[in-house]
Each structure stands twice: as structure tokens, then as C-alpha cells.
């Protein structure tokens, strides 16, 4: 039933509505050592959509708020700048994950999955996460530091996604092979927003 909400979230005329994500199920998952044993990159995906509950758990695992009193996240970030935003490209459009509210804010009703990478599977896999560093949140750091720390912070988020995927039996691969200028244009990013990596998530292709 909840899975249908993603499909039903389009307003007439192609405009998207925000998606309130269900609370993450923080009691589940496989034991850590078994999950680490299964962690891998997979590049063959089924086109089936992820249920909303799975998307909710995935995004919370990635960089959700795990300490509401401080607003701190499942992934560490240098000086707690929390500069990495996760954009979620799906068939119905592009959304921005808002961790504090645990919801998806619509960005555009266009399907830009094909532009999130250079490999064919990105166009048909159900979810492509695009990690975007907002340099305006990084204060007066040098550009070299902004690039270094935002790359590090992305790595932690990406590994959270790898571990969640391994735990859930999902397929995922993180990708640096991205035409960043073209994707930034498709996403209408500001000049101080910098795409670090992208990551595809879905069910593994059925053999
Ligand atoms: C920073 C980074 C960028 C990557 N970029 C790509 C990519 O563009 N395309 C791809 O298919 N795999 C990409 N990968 C996945 C690696 O190829 C993969 O992690 C490596 O082959 C080891 O395989 P494993 O993840 O299954 O251990 C990337 C991995 C990292 C850490």
C-alpha cells in the first residue's frame, strides 16, 4: 500500500508533492559481520520500484538523524557541517531528502536517471542517489579543504548505503563516473553546489 504512495505523489500536470517518509525501522537488519561479508558492488538491476518503507530505511541509514536532541546523523561529517545533500532520482522525478523532517522534497517532475551516470543501468534502475556538497555550509575553508572533506563525508554516507543494501539483499554501486556539468545543469544546481558521487540502488537483476 505504501509503495503506491510514491506513484501517487504526482499532482495533475506533472507537479510532484512532498513525500512524508514513514519512520525508519531501526530495529531490523542483519548482524553487522554478516552484512560486511555480503557488501559488494553490483551493476545489474531489476526495474522494480522500491517500497516506500525501504526507501525510508535506506535514506535514514544513509544520513538520517539518529540523535534528535542534537540533529546529528548516522554518518559523521567534518566539523559536523552536514554539507552533503542526497538527491533521489526516480522515474517520477527528482527529490531532495530532508533528514530533519525525514521527507522527500520535490525538485523536478523530470526523470533524470539517465543523466546521473555514464553506465546504461542508471536509466532503468529504480533509484539513483546523487550526493551533492553544499559548499556554502563549509564556512571559510579553502576550496582544497571543501573538496577533500566533502569527498570524505560522502564516503561515509555511501558506505552506509552499501551496508544497508547488503543487509536488505539490495543491489548497489557507488559511481564517480558522472558527467558533473551536465548533471548539475539537469538538476539546476547553484554554482556552490558540487556533485561528489552518485549511487544506484535497486533489486538485483533476476537471473
Ligand atoms: C570513489 C569510487 C568511485 C567509483 N566509481 C565507480 C563508477 O563510476 N562505476 C562503477 O561501475 N563502479 C564504481 N565504483 C565501484 C568500484 O569499482 C568497486 O567498489 C570496486 O571495483 C571494488 O568492488 P566491490 O565494491 O564489489 O568491493 C567506485 C567506487 C568508489 C569507491
Q: 163 C-alpha vs ligand 1 centroid, how far in Å?
A: 15
- Can you give the pLDDT at residue 116? 98
Instruction: For 112-122, write each residue's pLDDT tens digit.
Output: 999 999 999 99
Write down the pLDDT at residue 11.
Answer: 57
User: Considering the entire predicted model, what is its pTM?
Assistant: 0.94
The average pLDDT across 49-65 equals 98
Report the nearest-CA residue for atom 11 of ligand 1. 175
Q: What mean pLDDT comes out for the span 119-132?
A: 98
Ligand 1 atom at minimal distance to the Cα of residue 118: 8
Asked whether residue 8 carries a pLDDT value surpassing 70, the answer given is no
Q: 9 or 46: whose pLDDT is higher?
A: 46
* Nearest CA, atom 6, ligand 1: 175
Length of the chain: 207
Mean per-residue pLDDT over the chain, rounded: 94
Q: Is the CB of 118 under 6 A from ligand 1?
A: no
CA distance 181 to 29: 37
pLDDT-derived band at 15 (thresholds 50, 70, 90) equals: confident
Sequence-separated (6 or more) residues with CB below 8 Å from residue 191: none
Confirm or reject: Cβ of 175 under 6 Å from ligand 1: yes
Amino acid at each position: 500500500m505504501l509503495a503506491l504512495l510514491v506513484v501517487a505523489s504526482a499532482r495533475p500536470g506533472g507537479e510532484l508533492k512532498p513525500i512524508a517518509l514513514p519512520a525508519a525501522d531501526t530495529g531490523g537488519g542483519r548482524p553487522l559481520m554478516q552484512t560486511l561479508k555480503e557488501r559488494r558492488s553490483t551493476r545489474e538491476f531489476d526495474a522494480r520500484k522500491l517500497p516506500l518503507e525501504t526507501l525510508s530505511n535506506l535514506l535514514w541509514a544513509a544520513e538520517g538523524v539518529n540523535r534528535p536532541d542534537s540533529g546529528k546523523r548516522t554518518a559523521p561529517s567534518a566539523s559536523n557541517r552536514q554539507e552533503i545533500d542526497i538527491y533521489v532520482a526516480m522515474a517520477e522525478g527528482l527529490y531532495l531528502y530532508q533528514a530533519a523532517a525525514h521527507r522527500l522534497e520535490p525538485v523536478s517532475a523530470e526523470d533524470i536517471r539517465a543523466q546521473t551516470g555514464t553506465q546504461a543501468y542508471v536509466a532503468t534502475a529504480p533509484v539513483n542517489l546523487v550526493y551533492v556538497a553544499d559548499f556554502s555550509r563549509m564556512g571559510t575553508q579553502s576550496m582544497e579543504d571543501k573538496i577533500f572533506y566533502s569527498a570524505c563525508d560522502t564516503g561515509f554516507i555511501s558506505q552506509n548505503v552499501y551496508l544497508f543494501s547488503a543487509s536488505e539483499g539490495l543491489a548497489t554501486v557507488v559511481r564517480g563516473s558522472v558527467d558533473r556539468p551536465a548533471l548539475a545543469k539537469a538538476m539546476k544546481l547553484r554554482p556552490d553546489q558540487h556533485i561528489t558521487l552518485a549511487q544506484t540502488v535497486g533489486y538485483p537483476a533476476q537471473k
